[in-house]
């Protein structure tokens, strides 16, 4: 039994015990535990794990023991209240209460929505079948790791998540085909050239690709399970499992129902405040300046901002470019900033065909604005710094693409 | 297979480059598979006492089989020697029969040995019956010969190298000895260091490395040299420093000569104005001339290569005669030759206006004497055609067979287009050479493979009359033969077997010596009668000796004219009245720039030998034109950019070198690059066939030209494992490289992609294996670079950029030699130009230790404040010392930087 809340502390309730919610709870407990009674509510049975590591777990590169993001046990022992496996069903902003699926009613002084997102289920007939799943939670990974033999698996989506799933599954001995709507992989992070190198790498791993193609339908058996994926070409692929990794959509049903202002996600201001007093949102479920967030770095920034805001300190959130890395072992890829140049940008390109290395730097008026590195990503953070700091790179254009070692110790 | 085992041989020989004639120790390894180890200077040779310049030091690198001509060729097909000799001799017989002996000509070289020269001269002048025997020496010192002959009655160099160290005043005229005669320059520089009061004056329109030790530099208007000496003569008379006794007892013609000098150069201000120099500078020279009687005037191509070259020589000699500064220690007019054996050629009479052994056709009794000595059936009776006239006669169809030996007239004679027309017109062009591919072998009908330096035996004479042995220590490659042998074989086929049946080269030398002494009795300066009975063993043991070496004077002769006796009929030296005049062509609106030509430090002549030593290409890798910054700015020419230079005779493309060493409206360019090394940089295309009327020496240091920037081009660097055909580039230059092939190219904009594709195709056809590539493109800097690898080893590297860049290629090309897959970091570095942690050397200054500009600047920044300190730190300049003048320039640069 958790300890009873102290009466003189204000109740701060966090809805969502994914990475954003758990980390916020942890950091708040550490820094402002004296101010708040923290209640963390999660719908998953597992809370506080590092979702980013799911790919590595699937690929058998790490074990369950490596998964925790925060030390839940210590938090609980110290009075943080964690309610797992019990999703919130409604929010009453007037009464400042939440109702959980279990029926429990929880009041709050301050509420933080960290409801995250869900895998997009493409509008394909048969998508509700039992063998159509997402790659989102520890439970999903448990399902995948329990598959036996050589299963024929269809991954829908050639983005970061889909590729990580495909890589993990093929490593586990399954036969994987990836459908990707765009003509090249990771089309939001890579240009065609780099994506081509990536494609070759994945093909070498034994993964089959259908680019520029989405399945038309899933053919179901009598028991409802999908047995075939029907292609645009009329071809029909026999499969055992479908993994949907065609993007994520912010989970905003609760907020929407409560009357909070939403667009694609819950709209927040630079102090992470929603349209309603005492309600904040962060992570994948929030939208700031028309942007939503899927990578961890800006979300960590949001947590830091919110920590200060809740403590009454001055802090504002601002969007900064965030590098993308792919968590597939042996595949090194780094992408940051503006990678599709407009006419006023210039692209410096380096390509090592034999080594499958590729670099593209997008430069605008002497400032680096975007970078794609494939193969050798050692200089990724340096480029990231140059972009962040808006460093004028005019005097190192001759060497920029070759990396920090050539640019920085330059002879005066 | 086992290598043939031999015993290592070491021996003393003589350097094949400039006229200093340094002694060289050469060791031939005991196995044919071993490289020849680096040569060293001969401590016992009086020319160099162990020193060698960078060119000489690199001689071993040039002993290689690349591009050797190994078999006789007729119209591009290999033939036997038998058949080649037959073709040559029957054609000579035919043209002599049909058109007379003057339809045949030899065009020889200051690089062949005295013995080769002797038999060629004998065959032509005594047996075929033509004096059409001229030589590339015509281009370097013909004016000096005529100058000496007019004054002394003989072609006699009065001085020796010691005099350069003993004099109190050294006037260097038209000589960049620091680069062209480095060992003499070093001897002078060290003498001056020991005796700082010794004055060195340089007279040159250009600021050269030689100016580095000069107390005074007169940057005269091109061609105005003679008026300086005309003025000095006038001034000597006015100052009362004439040697009246010497003038009275040992000379003729002083009065008219002085009065002409007074008329031509009446005073200081007139002369200074004529020469375009400061009056004070001229006054300073005049005062030193008055003060120091131990004066040497040291002159070279800048004086000789002139339409009034002979007069310039005599203007100099006049001053020495008038003040008695001749025949004494540390005094005399000293002509320095450019070739290893120009002097030997002069001694045998291997010029069209000489007969033999320092006798002319006009020398009373000489024709008869020589005819009797040779037992010659067909004596030529009058002067033949001098080089430029010879090629003009060839174009006119008068000369129908030419035998060119060891020289490259397509590059060295003025007006290349005319030379080409002449050789095209000539019915049979025979070329004897070591190299298969030169601009001249390309014009040949018959190619005869010759032995070269280190393969052939014979003698050479240096600028101080010193005869030294060149020694053949390596076997002749392929079917290569000694030039004298080929000449004798043709002579035998022509029916002159008894006069050309030498078994060994020493027999030729003995005959040459015997002719020099034949009925001489002290009448002729050139007498080496001591050697007229020489045996092979004695010949092989000859140590360097200065002629004359008459019978009874085996020690030779150090200095000439000590007794005031000359070789004129009356024994008196002759003054020659001189009217100074400027170069023939002067600037005009259409041709506003005056072009001067010369040499770079680390190349020699047309690079047929120095071009084989990769290390020698590092000092100056491409042909260039030196332009004053004012002119460059006005014409929109950037440093290192390609420049088009046009004269009425042709055009060339060169890289701009913006420098204050040249005066505004003047440009300078080195002469070395041939079509074997660059497609469009043969400077002789620009030079008019203007010659000195007396010596026939071309005014090669003077042309009037236009300059224009070349726009809309991109610059490229190519490093390749296989040779590439780049014929359709606007400009290409092959830079000798230790590994593979290094080209610098210029493309018209828009052509790059097509060129790259063509090169890539060529590479793919030439090499098999798994290929891949690395590429880099930067639209901001417009840099494009690509490296192609086969089996993970570099085979091709191409850099292109919109502006000229100087990249250090040494590391890049060294990658061609790496016989293991390159690391990823090294692959990346291929397109950067250097590994991340390597020290950037910059342009190489010290060739011996491969020290570059950036290293020197760094060392200076770290506290090295003198050339000695640099040497201690980097070793630069501590071996051959050729780079010392350049090193000195870095020191003030640093002072400037630190202000």
- Reported as a single tens digit per residue, the pLDDT across B370-385 is 999 999 999 999 999 9
By Cβ distance, the residue of B774, B783, B840 closest to A352 is: B774
pLDDT score recorded for residue B248:
97
Closest chain B CA to residue A398: B781
pLDDT score recorded for residue A411:
36
CB-facing half-sphere around the CA of B305: CA atoms within 13 A: 28
Integer Cα distance of B299 and A323 in angstroms: 72
Distance from CA of A406 to the nearest CA of B (A): 6
Q: Which secondary structure element, helix H or strand E, spans residue B846, and what is its range? A: strand B844-846
By Cβ distance, the residue of B779, B783, B827 closest to A355 is: B827
Position B861 pLDDT exceeds 70: yes
SS3 assignment for chain A: CCCCCCCCCEEEEEECCCHHHHHHHHHHHHHHCCCEEEEEECCCCCCCECHHHHHHHHCCCCCHHHCECCCHHHHHHCCCEEECCCCEEEEECCCCEEEECCCCEEECCEEEECCCEEECCCCCECCCCCCEEECCCHHHHHHHHCCCCCCEEEEECCCHHHHHHHHHHHHCCCEEEEEECCCCCCCCCCCHHHHHHHHHHHHHCCCEEEECCCCCEEEECCCCCEEEEECCCCCEEECCEEEECCCEEECCHHHHHHCCCECCCEECCCCCECCCCCEEECHHHEEECCEECCCHHHHHHHHHHHHHHHCCCCCCCCCCCCCEECCECCECEEEEECCCCCCCCEEEEEEECCCCEEEEEEEECCEEEEEEEECCCCCHHHHHHHHHCCCECHHHCCCHHHCHHHHCCCCC
Mean pLDDT of B728-756: 88
Position A2 pLDDT exceeds 60: no
Please enumerate residues of A whose Cβ is less than 8 A from a Cβ of B: 346-355, 357, 363, 376, 397-399, 401-403, 405-406, 409, 411
By Cβ distance, the residue of A346, A402, A409 closest to B828 is: A402
pLDDT score recorded for residue B852:
83
Query: What domains does chain A contain, in order, with CATH numbers?
Result: 10-118+248-310 (3.50.50.60), 132-244 (3.50.50.60), 332-407 (3.30.390.30)
By Cβ distance, the residue of B773, B778, B837 closest to A348 is: B778
Place of tokens 């297979």: B1
Q: Give helix B884-898 / helix B853-861 axis angle, nearest 10°.
A: 50
Cβ within 8 Å, pair B775-A353: yes
Cβ within 8 Å, pair A402-B840: no
Integer Cα distance of A334 and A4 in angstroms: 47
Mean pLDDT of B539-552: 96
pLDDT score recorded for residue B810:
85
pLDDT score recorded for residue B899:
42
Mean pLDDT of B309-332: 97
pLDDT tens-place string over residues B764-773: 777 778 888 8
pLDDT tens-place string over residues B624-679: 999 999 999 999 999 999 999 999 999 999 999 999 999 999 999 999 999 999 99
Taking the domain B73-140+341-502, which CATH number applies?
A: 3.40.50.740
Closest chain B CA to residue A407: B836
Cβ within 8 Å, pair A405-B781: no
Closest chain B CA to residue A399: B832
CB count in 10 Å sphere of residue B564: 16
Distance from CA of A335 to the nearest CA of B (A): 19
* Secondary structure class of B682 (helix, strand, coil): coil
CA distances from B643 to A13, B412, B416, B806, B843 (A): 78, 21, 19, 16, 21
CB count in 10 Å sphere of residue A88: 23
Among B657, B637, B566, which residue's Cα sits nearest to residue B843? Answer: B657
Cβ within 8 Å, pair A405-B836: yes
Among A329, A405, A321, which residue's Cα sits nearest to residue A364? Answer: A321
Residues 750-789 of B with CB under 8 A from A: 772-781, 783, 789
pLDDT grade for B35, boundaries at 50, 70 and 90: confident
pLDDT tens-place string over residues B745-767: 999 887 777 777 777 777 777 77
pLDDT score recorded for residue B6:
54
In the sheet that holds B545-546, the strands lie side by side as: B458-461, B466-470, B545-546
Q: Which secondary structure element, helix H or strand E, spans residue B742, and what is its range? A: strand B741-748
Between A245-254, A258-267, B120-129, B606-615, the lowest mean confidence (pLDDT) is in B606-615
Cβ within 8 Å, pair A354-B827: yes
Pairing of strands B642-647, B731-735: unpaired
Q: Mutate which of B780, B788, B841, B855 to disrupt the A interface (most A C-beta within 10 Å)? A: B780
Mean pLDDT of B146-150: 97
Q: Which fold has domain B142-335?
A: Dimethylsulfoxide Reductase; domain 2 (3.40.228)
By Cβ distance, the residue of B774, B778, B783 closest to A353 is: B774
pLDDT grade for A333, boundaries at 50, 70 and 90: confident
Tokens of B64: 């290689």
Taking the domain B593-709, which CATH number applies?
A: 2.40.40.20
Between A167-176, B101-110, B117-126, B726-735, the lowest mean confidence (pLDDT) is in B726-735
Please check whether residue B528 is in contact with residue B118, taking contact to mean a CB–CB distance below 8 angstroms.
Answer: no
Closest chain A CA to residue B829: A402
pLDDT score recorded for residue B839:
62
Q: Which fold has domain B844-898?
A: Arc Repressor Mutant, subunit A (1.10.10)
Residues of A in contact with B824 (CB under 8 A): 352, 355, 357, 376
pLDDT score recorded for residue A412:
31
Position B589 pLDDT exceeds 80: yes
Q: Is B831 on the interface with A (CB under 8 A)?
A: yes
Residues of A in contact with B831 (CB under 8 A): 350, 402
Residues 337-366 of B with CB under 8 A from A: none
By Cβ distance, the residue of B779, B827, B828 closest to A347 is: B779
Integer Cα distance of A47 and B431 in angstroms: 93
Which sequence spans correspond to the domains of chain B? 9-62, 73-140+341-502, 142-335, 593-709, 713-832, 844-898
Q: Is B839 on the interface with A (CB under 8 A)?
A: no
Q: Mutate which of B793, B832, B833, B852 to disrupt the A interface (most A C-beta within 10 Å)? A: B832
Q: Residue B307 — left, alpha, or beta (φ > 0 → left; ψ -120 to 50 → alpha)?
A: alpha
Cβ within 8 Å, pair A398-B778: yes
pLDDT score recorded for residue A362:
97
Among B153, B9, B17, which residue's Cα sits nearest to residue B613? Answer: B17
Complex ipTM tops 0.95:
no
Integer Cα distance of B413 and B429 in angstroms: 16
Q: Is B259 on the interface with A (CB under 8 A)?
A: no
Question: What backbone phi and psi angles, to 5 degrees, belong to B874?
Answer: -110, -10
pLDDT score recorded for residue B824:
80
pLDDT score recorded for residue B895:
52
pLDDT score recorded for residue B3:
41
Please check whether residue A69 is in contact with residue A108, taking contact to mean a CB–CB distance below 8 angstroms.
Answer: no
Global pTM value: 0.84
Mean pLDDT of chain B: 93
Pairing of strands B169-173, B199-203: parallel
Position B896 pLDDT exceeds 80: no
Distance from CA of A401 to the nearest CA of B (A): 9
Residues of B in contact with A398 (CB under 8 A): 778, 781, 783
Q: Is B89 on the interface with A (CB under 8 A)?
A: no
CB pairs under 8 A between A and B: 64
Residues of A in contact with B840 (CB under 8 A): 411
The percentage of chain B sitting over the pLDDT mark of 70, rounded to a whole number, equals 97
pLDDT tens-place string over residues B563-580: 999 999 999 999 999 999
pLDDT score recorded for residue B808:
74
Place of tokens 């002048």: B125
By Cβ distance, the residue of A353, A402, A406 closest to B772 is: A353
The residue ranking higher by pLDDT, B286 or B800, is: B286
Residues of A in contact with B776 (CB under 8 A): 348-351, 401
pLDDT score recorded for residue A1:
43
Integer Cα distance of B281 and A168 in angstroms: 87
Distance from CA of B638 to the nearest CA of A (A): 20
Position B4 pLDDT exceeds 70: no
By Cβ distance, the residue of A346, A348, A376 closest to B824 is: A376
pLDDT score recorded for residue A7:
56
Distance from CA of B818 to the nearest CA of A (A): 17
pLDDT score recorded for residue B749:
85
Pairing of strands A152-156, A175-180: parallel
pLDDT tens-place string over residues A67-78: 889 999 999 999
By Cβ distance, the residue of A353, A363, A376 closest to B780 is: A363
Please check whether residue A372 is in contact with residue A194, taking contact to mean a CB–CB distance below 8 angstroms.
Answer: yes
Angle at A246 between CA A245 and CA A248, to 5 degrees: 90
pLDDT score recorded for residue B886:
78
Please check whether residue B745 is in contact with residue B718, taking contact to mean a CB–CB distance below 8 angstroms.
Answer: yes
pLDDT tens-place string over residues B211-261: 999 999 999 999 999 999 999 999 999 999 999 999 999 999 999 999 999
Integer Cα distance of B517 and B34 in angstroms: 45
Place of tokens 């919130």: A88
pLDDT score recorded for residue B7:
64
What lies within 8 Å, CB to CB, of A197 at 6+ separation is: A356, A358, A374, A375
Residues of B in contact with A354 (CB under 8 A): 772-774, 789, 792, 827
The dihedral sign for the CA sequence B270, B273, B275, B279 = positive
pLDDT score recorded for residue B887:
83
Position B149 pLDDT exceeds 60: yes
Please check whether residue B139 is in contact with residue B700, taking contact to mean a CB–CB distance below 8 angstroms.
Answer: yes
pLDDT tens-place string over residues B688-716: 999 999 999 999 999 999 999 999 999 99
Integer Cα distance of B42 and B48 in angstroms: 7
Mean pLDDT of B880-884: 72
Distance from CA of A170 to the nearest CA of B (A): 28
Mean pLDDT of B283-288: 98
Pairing of strands A117-119, A110-113: unpaired
Mean pLDDT of A57-62: 88
Residues of A in contact with B828 (CB under 8 A): 350, 352, 357, 376, 402-403
pLDDT tens-place string over residues A274-326: 999 899 999 999 999 999 998 888 999 999 999 999 999 999 999 887 787 77
pLDDT tens-place string over residues A251-271: 999 999 999 999 999 999 999
pLDDT tens-place string over residues A204-232: 999 999 999 989 999 999 999 999 999 98
Q: Which fold has domain B9-62?
A: Phosphorylase Kinase; domain 1 (3.30.200)
The percentage of chain B sitting over the pLDDT mark of 90, rounded to a whole number, equals 80
């Amino acid at each position: 039994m958790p300890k009873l809340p102290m009466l003189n502390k204000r109740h701060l309730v966090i809805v969502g015990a994914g990475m954003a919610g758990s980390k916020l709870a942890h950091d708040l407990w550490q820094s402002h535990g004296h101010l708040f009674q923290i209640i963390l509510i999660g719908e998953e049975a597992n809370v506080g794990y590092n979702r980013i590591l799911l790919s590595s777990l699937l690929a058998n590169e790490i074990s369950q023991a490596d998964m925790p993001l925060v030390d839940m046990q210590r938090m609980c022992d110290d009075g943080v209240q964690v309610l797992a496996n019990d999703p919130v069903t409604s929010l009453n902003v007037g009464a400042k209460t939440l109702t959980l699926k279990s029926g429990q009613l929880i009041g709050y002084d301050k509420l933080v929505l960290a409801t995250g997102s869900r895998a997009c289920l493409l509008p394909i007939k048969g998508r509700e079948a039992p063998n159509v799943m997402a790659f989102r939670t520890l439970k999903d990974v448990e399902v995948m790791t329990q598959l036996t033999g050589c299963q024929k698996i269809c991954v829908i989506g050639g983005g970061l998540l889909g590729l990580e799933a495909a890589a993990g599954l093929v490593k586990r001995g399954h036969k994987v085909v990836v459908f990707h709507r765009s003509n090249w992989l990771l089309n939001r992070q890579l240009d065609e050239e780099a994506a081509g190198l990536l494609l070759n790498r994945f093909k070498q791993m034994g993964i089959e690709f259908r680019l520029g193609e989405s399945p038309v339908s899933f053919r179901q058996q009598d028991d409802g399970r999908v047995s075939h994926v029907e292609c645009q070409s009329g071809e029909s692929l026999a499969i055992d499992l479908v993994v949907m990794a065609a993007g994520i959509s912010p989970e905003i049903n609760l907020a929407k129902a409560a009357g909070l202002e939403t667009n694609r996600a819950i709209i927040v201001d630079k102090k992470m405040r929603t349209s309603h007093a005492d309600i904040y949102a962060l992570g994948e479920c929030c939208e700031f300046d028309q942007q939503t967030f899927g990578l961890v770095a800006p979300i960590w920034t949001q947590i830091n901002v919110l920590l200060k805001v809740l403590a009454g300190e001055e802090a504002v959130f601002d969007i900064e470019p965030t590098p993308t890395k792919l968590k597939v072992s042996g595949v090194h890829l780094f992408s940051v900033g503006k990678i599709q140049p407009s006419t006023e940008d210039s692209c410096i390109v380096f390509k090592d065909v034999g080594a499958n290395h590729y670099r593209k730097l997008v430069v605008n008026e002497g400032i680096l604005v975007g970078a794609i590195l494939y193969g050798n990503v050692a200089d990724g953070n340096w480029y990231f710094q140059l972009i962040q700091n808006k460093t004028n790179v005019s005097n190192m254009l001759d060497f920029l693409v070759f990396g920090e070692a050539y640019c920085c110790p330059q002879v005066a | 297979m086992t290598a043939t085992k031999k015993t290592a041989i070491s021996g003393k020989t003589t350097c094949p480059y400039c006229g200093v004639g340094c002694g060289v120790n050469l060791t031939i390894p005991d196995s044919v598979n071993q490289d020849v180890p680096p040569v060293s200077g001969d401590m016992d040779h009086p020319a160099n006492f162990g020193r060698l310049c960078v060119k000489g030091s690199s001689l071993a690198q040039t002993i290689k089989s690349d591009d050797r001509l190994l078999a006789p060729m007729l119209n591009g097909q290999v033939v036997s020697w038998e058949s080649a000799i037959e073709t040559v001799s029957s054609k000579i017989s035919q043209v002599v029969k049909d058109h007379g002996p003057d339809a045949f000509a030899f065009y020889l070289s200051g690089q062949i040995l005295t013995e080769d020269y002797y038999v060629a001269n004998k065959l032509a002048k005594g047996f075929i019956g033509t004096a059409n025997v001229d030589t590339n020496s015509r281009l370097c010192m013909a004016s000096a010969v005529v100058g000496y002959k007019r004054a002394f009655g003989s072609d006699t160099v009065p001085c020796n190298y010691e005099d350069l160290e003993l004099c109190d005043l050294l006037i260097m005229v038209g000589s960049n000895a620091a680069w062209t005669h480095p060992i003499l320059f070093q001897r002078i520089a060290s003498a001056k260091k020991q005796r700082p009061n010794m004055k060195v004056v340089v007279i040159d329109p250009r600021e050269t490395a030689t100016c580095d030790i000069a107390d005074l530099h007169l940057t005269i208007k091109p061609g105005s040299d003679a008026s300086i000496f005309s003025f000095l003569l006038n001034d000597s008379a006015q100052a009362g420093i004439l040697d009246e006794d010497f003038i009275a007892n040992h000379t003729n013609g002083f009065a008219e000569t002085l009065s002409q000098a007074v008329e031509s150069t009446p005073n200081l201000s007139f002369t200074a104005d004529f020469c375009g120099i400061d009056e004070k500078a001229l006054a300073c020279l005049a005062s030193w001339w008055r003060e120091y009687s131990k004066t040497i005037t040291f002159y070279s191509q800048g004086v000789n290569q002139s339409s009034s070259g002979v007069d310039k020589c005599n203007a100099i000699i006049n001053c020495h005669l008038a003040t008695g500064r001749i025949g004494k220690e540390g005094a005399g007019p000293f002509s320095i030759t450019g070739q290893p054996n120009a002097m030997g050629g002069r001694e045998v009479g291997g010029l069209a206006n000489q007969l033999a052994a320092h006798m002319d056709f006009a020398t009373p009794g000489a024709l008869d004497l020589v005819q009797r000595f040779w037992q010659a059936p067909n004596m030529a009776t009058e002067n033949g055609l001098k080089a430029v006239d010879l090629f003009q006669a060839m174009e006119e169809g008068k000369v129908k067979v030419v035998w060119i030996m060891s020289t490259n007239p397509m590059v060295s004679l003025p007006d290349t287009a005319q030379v080409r027309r002449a050789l095209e017109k000539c019915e049979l062009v025979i070329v004897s050479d070591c190299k298969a591919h030169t601009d001249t072998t390309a014009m040949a009908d018959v190619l005869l493979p010759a032995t070269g330096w280190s393969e052939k035996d014979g003698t050479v004479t240096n600028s101080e009359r010193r005869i030294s042995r060149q020694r053949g220590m390596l076997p002749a490659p392929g079917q290569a033969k000694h030039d004298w042998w080929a000449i004798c074989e043709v002579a035998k086929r022509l029916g002159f077997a008894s006069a050309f049946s030498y078994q060994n080269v020493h027999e030729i030398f003995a005959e040459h010596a015997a002719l020099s002494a034949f009925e001489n009795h002290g009448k002729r300066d050139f007498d080496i009668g001591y050697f007229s009975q020489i045996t092979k063993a004695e010949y092989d043991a000859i140590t360097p000796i200065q002629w004359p070496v008459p019978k009874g004077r085996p020690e030779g002769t150090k200095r000439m004219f000590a007794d005031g006796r000359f070789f004129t009929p009356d024994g008196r030296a002759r003054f020659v009245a001189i009217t100074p005049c400027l170069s023939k062509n002067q600037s005009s609106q259409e041709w506003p720039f005056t072009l001067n030509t010369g040499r770079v430090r680390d190349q020699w002549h047309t690079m047929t030998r120095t071009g084989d030593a990769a290390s020698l290409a590092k000092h100056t890798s491409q042909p260039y034109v030196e332009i004053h910054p004012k002119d460059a700015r006005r014409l929109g020419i950037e440093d290192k950019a390609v420049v088009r230079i046009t004269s009425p005779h042709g055009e060339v493309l060169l890289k701009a070198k913006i420098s204050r060493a040249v005066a505004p409206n003047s440009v300078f360019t080195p002469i070395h690059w041939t079509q074997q090394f660059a497609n469009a940089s043969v400077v002789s295309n620009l030079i008019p066939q203007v010659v000195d009327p007396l010596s026939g020496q071309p005014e090669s240091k003077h042309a009037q030209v236009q300059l224009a920037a070349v726009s809309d081009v991109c610059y490229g660097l190519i490093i390749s494992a296989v040779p590439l055909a780049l014929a359709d580039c606007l400009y290409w230059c092959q830079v000798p490289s230790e590994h593979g092939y290094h080209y610098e190219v210029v493309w018209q904009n828009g052509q790059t992609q097509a060129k790259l594709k063509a090169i890539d195709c060529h590479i793919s056809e030439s090499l098999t294996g798994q290929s891949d590539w690395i590429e880099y493109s930067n639209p901001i800097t417009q840099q494009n670079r690509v490296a192609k690898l086969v089996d993970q080893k570099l085979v091709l590297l191409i850099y292109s950029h919109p502006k000229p860049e100087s990249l250090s290629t040494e590391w890049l090309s060294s990658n061609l030699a790496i016989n293991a897959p390159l690391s990823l970091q090294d692959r990346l570095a291929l397109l950067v130009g250097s590994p991340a942690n390597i020290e950037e050397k910059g342009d190489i200054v010290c060739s011996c230790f491969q020290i570059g500009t950036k290293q020197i600047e760094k060392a200076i920044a770290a506290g090295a404040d003198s050339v000695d300190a640099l040497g201690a730190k980097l070793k630069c300049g501590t071996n051959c010392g050729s780079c010392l003048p350049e090193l000195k320039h870095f020191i003030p640069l640093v002072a400037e930087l630190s202000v």
